[in-house]
Amino acid sequence: MAPPHDVFAPIVFPTTDASWPTVNPATVGWDVAKLNVALDFAGSRDTRAIVILQDGKILAERYWTVNSNFMRDIASAQKSVVSVLIGIAVDKQLLSLDERVSTILGAGWSNTTALNEARITVRHLLTMTSGLNTSLGLQTTPGTTWLYNNDAYHRLRMILEQRSGLGIQALSDAWLFNPLGATRSEWVQRPETDSKGMPLWGLTMSARDLARFGLLLHANGMWAGTRIVSAAYLSTATQSSQTLNPAYGHLFWLNGKAFTLIPPLSARIDGPLIPSAPQDVFAGLGKDDQKVYVSRSLGLVVTRLGQQAGTRSAETLSDFDEELWARIMAARL
């Protein structure tokens, strides 16, 4: 077994992609051949890009049929980015998590009555406990049921834009992407609309930009000596947000919990979300296996972009998660 990872190891923050420091896996406790097995496995599952960071340095990186400039819609992994943007807005005192959504967006933002809407807070949207059904109609009292609800989630973009006075791209650039040096991250309006007829937005990113985001999370909200988002918010966001689904934080998926409810039907899976992964892993997970995983205990950030990689057990989860992490962990000496 490799010696325990030094959790106090200094984190390296890249500047440009061209100058991003690398590290030889063999010098930091990895079996290179077995690490290549993990990468080969990813490639066999329609992966286009995978990046693995160790304490901010590139430990491994591969591309299939594309190069490092490749960008794609990260699907619901965008939720974790939006969570951090909400945290920054809270830090800037532009809003409160316990503020009522109707106070910000006004009445009529859902498909239920103004009285029902008025009970729903920003925190309810962040934790998938709004009490709304997936068509934004009333299902139950807020805070009493966990339901993975994309249409309710998308109100958070509207909240950010309303309170900041900026469009989603401008505020993302100013608050997050520019400070991180993320130059290949772009919000794009999707052709489909939600149940209120409002346009939906997708976030396209490169695997390296997504790794920069993961590195910010690994560094607890710091980037090269600058505080981007408060450690207090990230601590809240990456812990169980409620007891209904302990594997869900504030738009982050959490490993190591007693059980998980998985979308779209909230089926229960007993045991950790990804048994083979470190128990402290938290993640942004998107449809067709768009991934950003973070393990602070091992100093790891792993991002994956591509086509659907495995047998899907949920909107955001497939057998790829378990099989990739089994191979990654087998590569640690």
Q: What is the pLDDT of residues 6-28, one digit of tens each?
A: 767 899 999 999 999 999 999 99
Sequence-separated contacts (24+) of 187-195 with Cβ below 8 Å: 188/73, 190/73, 194/136, 194/150, 194/151, 194/154, 195/111, 195/134, 195/135, 195/136, 195/151
Q: What is the pLDDT of residues 33-91, one digit of tens each?
A: 999 999 999 999 999 999 999 999 999 999 999 999 999 999 999 999 999 999 999 99
Q: Chain-wide mean pLDDT for the chain?
A: 96
| Gap between the Cα atoms of 279 and 291, Å rounded | 17
| Gap between the Cα atoms of 75 and 187, Å rounded | 11
Residues of the chain with pLDDT > 90, as a percent, come to 93
Range with the lowest mean pLDDT among 3-12, 219-228, 322-331?
3-12
DSSP 308-326: --S-BSSSS-BHHHHHHHH
Strands (E), 39-80: 47-54, 57-63, 71-73
Give helix 32-44 / helix 319-330 axis angle, nearest 10°. Answer: 160
Compute φ and ψ for 145, nearest 5 degrees. -140, 140
- Model-level pTM greater than 0.75? yes
CB 151 within 8 A of CB 195: yes
